[in-house]
Amino acid sequence: MRVLITRPEREAANLAQVLRGHRHEPVIAPLFQLQMLHPPEGFAATLAAAQAILITSANGVRALAEATETRSKPVFAVGDTTAATAEGLGFTPVISASGDATALADLVRQRLDPKAGPLLHVSGADVAGALSPEGFEVQRVVLYEAREAETLPESARAALEARAVDVVTFFSPRAAQLFVRLVTEAGLAETCRPVTAIAISPAAAQPLADLPFARTVAAERPTRQAVLDEIDRLPPPGVQSPKPMTDASPSEPSVEPRTEPKTVDATVVPTPTPRRGLGVVAAFAIGLVAAVIVLAAAVLSLPYWPEEARTLWRGPVTASPPPAAPAPAPVMDTAALDAAKRELGARLDDLDRRVRAAAAAAAQAGQTSGQTVAQPAPAPAPAAPDPAIAELRRKLESLENKPAPEADTSSLKSEIVALRAALQSLDQAVAGQKASVDKAAEAAQASVSGEQKAIAAARGSAVIGIAARISAGLTAGQPFTQDLALLQPLAQGDAKLGELIATLQPHAKGVTSRAALAAAFPAMAKRALADDLADDSFWQRLLGKLKSVVSLRRTGADVQGDSVEAKLARAEAAINAGDLAKAVELVKSLPPETSRATADWLARAEAHLAAQRAVDQLAAQAVALLGSAR
């Protein structure tokens, strides 16, 4: 049978899995979206004063589990599925009425005393009627809301238009009313004629009279298992079951309550009813949509193709020519000085600059090494030339200014030779002075380098000590705010240390230790396993009950498989062995149904891992500082 499921997404997924086990084809079309609400003010006090909790849906159990950590208050559930969910989430004791609201009220009157205190009814924003056992005070609290879909889900529209639905299930009167309204607004009422509607109760079946269903069946009992039994009793598609003679007109489908089996006359032969096909236009449209989907998947997966396949897809790529080599820069020609006087003048200027540069370097070296450079007594201006160079320059100017007629060639030549000899000796003296200055500068630089290495070694030792203190705080689950404050002065001028301090700052008030995470793992695993089994078939619900009572769960790193139980077993073995990162990876791979049970544990574990990574990087930075000091 092709069964259309109108339940919210989580319940629809669980029901679809059970239907596949019965060899049916589910079509999920949720008409509601669940939204968990914050508990009202004073909820904790109301819960503490109640003698018991009344719950009329599995969603109410999940909302209650999110709203409080209390699990010891007695729970009275309307049915077996709700009771199994409550047991799977750790509530105890749990008592099931195995029926509807009336059965739950009768059970409360039999088991509880009105004088023992009020009752707390956990429900959604919309309920079919007030639950108030006679003589009891019932306080209702709304912890979740089922928001209606504004239009018919696309999966339901496509299945109805293609005549690909045999059965539609309804688990509440509100769902039936909403389905009737959305189908009517979509203009698909006539597509319901070959479809059988199965409701969980006569109240849920009543609104379905506004649609021309082939049959409308109310389950014998208001349970999910009873709805599954009704689906299994239906004849195969294309076979029309015998119907009793009634006075109802064909346009008014009747609700058929379950009765005892009756003997059918053997002469009545079922007549096969041909089913409508998709048609040429519908088949072409479906093929076109499938081609578009395949093309989109190919484009989206293009980055993951092999290089050869991507080359064939995109075509050959024309390589761009290499850039031309830059032309060599023209060589600048320098004009040589051809006159002796100009040559001497240039050499004097060069010597003057070198002397000044040597004096400035010597002064700077003296300041760097902490020594005071003595200045001459009659302190001339900083730009004053050396006296020897000034004397040579004066002699050169006198030669230039001597009148040409009076000039003696031999005496001029001898004076120029003397000037050149004086310049050569002065050049050698300046070279010696520069060598002395260079040695002094190297000594000063070596002294500064030694001081810098000593400072780097001290910083590295201090960072290592602080990293050890922070690591000890992580191990013990203690805050390390004061230790982190000690790093602030050491981070000046070190961008890496500044980044590590910023990373550790959100965790300075303390993170959960690995030992505490390991101790909390079994309880989290129990809740996660219960969430995974809480809304499945009867045998899985029975297994969930046993596991919630005796904590029956396989453990050890050798548990194989991809089930929730196997992954939890390997994760627990990993955290006990000290590999918290592997445990977190395994817990993250669990199905979405377990996210509520694992979210808090995962957040604390990831905070611990982030802080531990930052501390490891801090220690590595300290080792790098020590290495630079050698």
The arithmetic mean of pLDDT across residues 552-557, rounded, is: 63
- Report the pLDDT value the prediction gives residue 622, as an integer from 0 to 100: 75
- Report the pLDDT value the prediction gives residue 442, as an integer from 0 to 100: 74
- Report the pLDDT value the prediction gives residue 206, as an integer from 0 to 100: 93
Global pTM value: 0.38
The sheet that has 94-96: what strands, in order across it?
32-36, 138-148, 119-124, 52-55, 75-77, 94-96
Q: pLDDT over 70 for what percent of the chain?
A: 62
pLDDT band at 475 (very low <50, low <70, confident <90, very high): confident
Reply yes or no on whether the pLDDT at 380 is more than 70: no
Q: Work out the end-to-end distance of the chain between its first and last CA atoms, rounded to an integer number of angstroms.
A: 79
8-state DSSP, 493: T
8-state DSSP, 326: P
The arithmetic mean of pLDDT across residues 5-9, rounded, is: 89
- Report the distance separating Cα 609 and Cα 384, nearest Å: 68
More confident residue, 170 or 308: 170
- Report the pLDDT value the prediction gives residue 536, as an integer from 0 to 100: 52
Using DSSP's 3-state secondary structure scheme, residue 53 falls into strand
Q: pLDDT over 90 for what percent of the chain?
A: 14
Reply yes or no on whether the pLDDT at 46 is more than 80: yes
Determine contact, residues 389/352, Cβ cutoff 8 Å.
yes
More confident residue, 58 or 341: 58
- Residue 23 burial (CB count, 10 A): 8
The arithmetic mean of pLDDT across residues 27-43, rounded, is: 88
- Report the pLDDT value the prediction gives residue 341, as an integer from 0 to 100: 61
Nearest to 145 by CA among 119, 133, 165, 127: 127
- Residue 224 burial (CB count, 10 A): 24
Determine contact, residues 196/234, Cβ cutoff 8 Å.
yes
More confident residue, 583 or 426: 583
Give tens-digit pLDDT for 179-231: 999 999 999 999 999 999 999 999 999 999 999 999 999 998 888 889 999 99
Give tens-digit pLDDT for 479-492: 888 777 887 777 77
Structure tokens at 161: 């238009």
Residue that has been written with the tokens 């002294």 in this structure: 447
Determine contact, residues 410/334, Cβ cutoff 8 Å.
no
- Report the pLDDT value the prediction gives residue 486, as an integer from 0 to 100: 80
CATH number for domain 32-148, candidates 3.40.1050.10, 3.40.710.10, 3.90.700.10, 3.40.50.10090: 3.40.50.10090
The arithmetic mean of pLDDT across residues 602-614, rounded, is: 89
The sheet that has 25-28: what strands, in order across it?
25-28, 2-5, 167-170, 196-199, 215-218, 255-257
SS (H, E, C) 534-586: CCCCHHHHHHHHHHHHHCCCCCCCCCCCCCHHHHHHHHHHHHHCCCHHHHHHH
Give tens-digit pLDDT for 235-265: 877 655 544 434 433 334 444 444 443 333 3
The two domains 2-31+149-238+252-257 and 32-148 share their CATH topology (first three levels equal): yes
More confident residue, 543 or 619: 619
pLDDT band at 345 (very low <50, low <70, confident <90, very high): low
322 Cβ contact list (under 8 Å, min separation 6): none
Domain ranges across the chain: 2-31+149-238+252-257, 32-148, 343-370+383-402+409-446, 514-628
- Residue 568 burial (CB count, 10 A): 28
- Report the pLDDT value the prediction gives residue 197, as an integer from 0 to 100: 95
Residue that has been written with the tokens 């879909």 in this structure: 149
- Report the pLDDT value the prediction gives residue 166, as an integer from 0 to 100: 94
CA atoms within 13 Å, Cβ hemisphere of 262: 8
The arithmetic mean of pLDDT across residues 502-519, rounded, is: 85
- Report the pLDDT value the prediction gives residue 334, as an integer from 0 to 100: 41
Lowest mean pLDDT among 156-160, 326-330, 523-527: 326-330
The arithmetic mean of pLDDT across residues 350-375, rounded, is: 58
The arithmetic mean of pLDDT across residues 358-372, rounded, is: 56
CATH for the stretch 2-31+149-238+252-257: 3.40.50.10090
Average pLDDT, the chain: 75
CA atoms within 13 Å, Cβ hemisphere of 388: 12
The arithmetic mean of pLDDT across residues 626-630, rounded, is: 66
- Report the pLDDT value the prediction gives residue 119, as an integer from 0 to 100: 92
Structure tokens at 411: 């005496």
- Report the distance separating Cα 517 and Cα 512, nearest Å: 7
Give tens-digit pLDDT for 414-423: 666 666 666 6
Strands (E), 106-166: 119-124, 138-148
- Report the pLDDT value the prediction gives residue 378, as an integer from 0 to 100: 46
Reply yes or no on whether the pLDDT at 26 is more than 50: yes
How far is the CA of 629 from the CAs of 458, 462, 463, 464, 618, in angstroms?
A: 9, 14, 14, 14, 17
Determine contact, residues 22/228, Cβ cutoff 8 Å.
yes
- Report the pLDDT value the prediction gives residue 370, as an integer from 0 to 100: 47
- Residue 196 burial (CB count, 10 A): 24
Give tens-digit pLDDT for 285-320: 677 767 767 676 666 666 666 666 666 666 555 444
Strand 138-148 with 32-36, pairing: antiparallel
8-state DSSP, 506: G
Q: Is residue 497 classed exposed, middle or buried when 0-12, 13-18 and 19+ CB atoms within 10 A define those classes?
A: buried
8-state DSSP, 251: T
- Report the pLDDT value the prediction gives residue 75, as an integer from 0 to 100: 94
- Report the distance separating Cα 140 and Cα 122, nearest Å: 6
More confident residue, 528 or 625: 528
pLDDT band at 125 (very low <50, low <70, confident <90, very high): confident
- Report the pLDDT value the prediction gives residue 184, as an integer from 0 to 100: 94
Question: Crossing angle, helix 595-628 and helix 58-67, to 10 degrees?
Answer: 40
- Report the pLDDT value the prediction gives residue 221, as an integer from 0 to 100: 87
- Report the pLDDT value the prediction gives residue 237, as an integer from 0 to 100: 74
